[in-house]
Structure 1
């Protein structure tokens, strides 16, 4: 699931999902997802604090104070303290409650979304939940998958609702992280994908995590992830994604020559017309232009356009702009 995400083209900044790279689908697109512990923790916090707060303190307080002062004063003090709140922990405000409830409820679920749209491997991870709970989580994840391209923010809210119900399931945290990434919530995406990785040990999230570091202004961390030993064993597509992110991080640091070397070690001449080759070539052309090598950049924009049947990039426009500039 995570390997379907599309990190940035490697250019030096801005929207990490630009350049026609596409968003792919989060785990929720073909899976189900669970959003945080917020509601459960809030319930434990409020009730637990109330139980041991005022009553327990009131029972202990008068006896200790009796030794020091008049009982009447103690009663007056206790009553006035109760009116002001005393040691009682202030309950959540009316403004806070709807936010928590809204997150837990999530956006409205389309009636035609049943949860059966999820991939079997994802649905299998939800089987440990009670039946009704699993069905609700699955529906939120399926809805997120359907919306991820056209409305990533709503998709993200669906995954938060799923996470609120099943935060200990890795695929739920994965879906939440990928939807957060698509919606541009990079810190949240990084936290969720780290949680998923701790749960299942998967390394497929590394390119997205590295790109999140770039978006957060942490290119050194992106490069560190790109050098992870597991990357050497990646399949061609996720390896290409990581190469693109690493080259972008080098550019963020002003290391254009290092960015070019990183891309030149990738299979730029691969005969595949897959989207990953398109993005590799585009990133290389873009970096060549940034390095002032306009002639070489023009060649690679043309080579990108030649295999970009789905128009994932604006390579044709970039080539035309370079040609017009050279003629002018």
Structure 2
């Protein structure tokens, strides 16, 4: 990862670990002799299941030979999950991430920091199936969240009452080619049980497989969304989703700045109204503004013993440090 200079590329955003800003050539002694170890999540993770039960699977992992980790990526991103650790065989206190995952968009990404997992095959007996089983399960786990040929979703999960809801649907055939001539209809089931049909039209301005519609719900609560794509009488695909309509509170009604009200409050309370271009004057006004109950108090700092003691302490500290280092 770092050696490939991916730190400042879009690939870095996909990974569940933070990449370093620079690539350093690691020493062989620093990257060798690591053993894979299951984390708490790894003991139950589908990728790491190498036997029928957890105990047997853990024994298989313990029996695997050591591997190398060329780059130390120690920091996981928020929301990432550590599945495997790499524990140094000589230094028990040295533990670094080996396999981690995170949710990304509608799928998931994994980062595997070793480059010689082939040792789990070539340095084991011919009957060992650990290596192919691991990679088969890892690949199956990654692609298990492949998007459906027909997808539908609201632009947001939660809307306020009175908001316009935007629906988007993507339609593909079995070759993942965009379908441009589908008739797409969304059926919205309201919290009361009533339904409303909303047709979606092809969006020519962007993706050819993108169908869109807008409507304004008249009820609050959870709305179920079911879309059907047809070509003639043939059903091309179906998809489901949902969104929530919440009650609009008075706090968010007419949330724009009420200038006249602010000026009136400032005038009636002895304050002032400031615009952004006058913000630099705010500090001066605060420090010099005096109210009816204000009292100005002046103290001579020279007559305050604490200041004299602090001065003596600073001078004594400097003399002590200089004396100790042979500078006095």
TM-score (norm 2): 0.23
Q: Which structure exhibits the higher relative contact order, with contacts defined as CA atoms closer than 8 Å and separated by 6 or more residues?
A: 1
TM-score (norm 1): 0.23
Bigger proportion of residues as helix: 1
Bigger proportion of residues as strand: 2
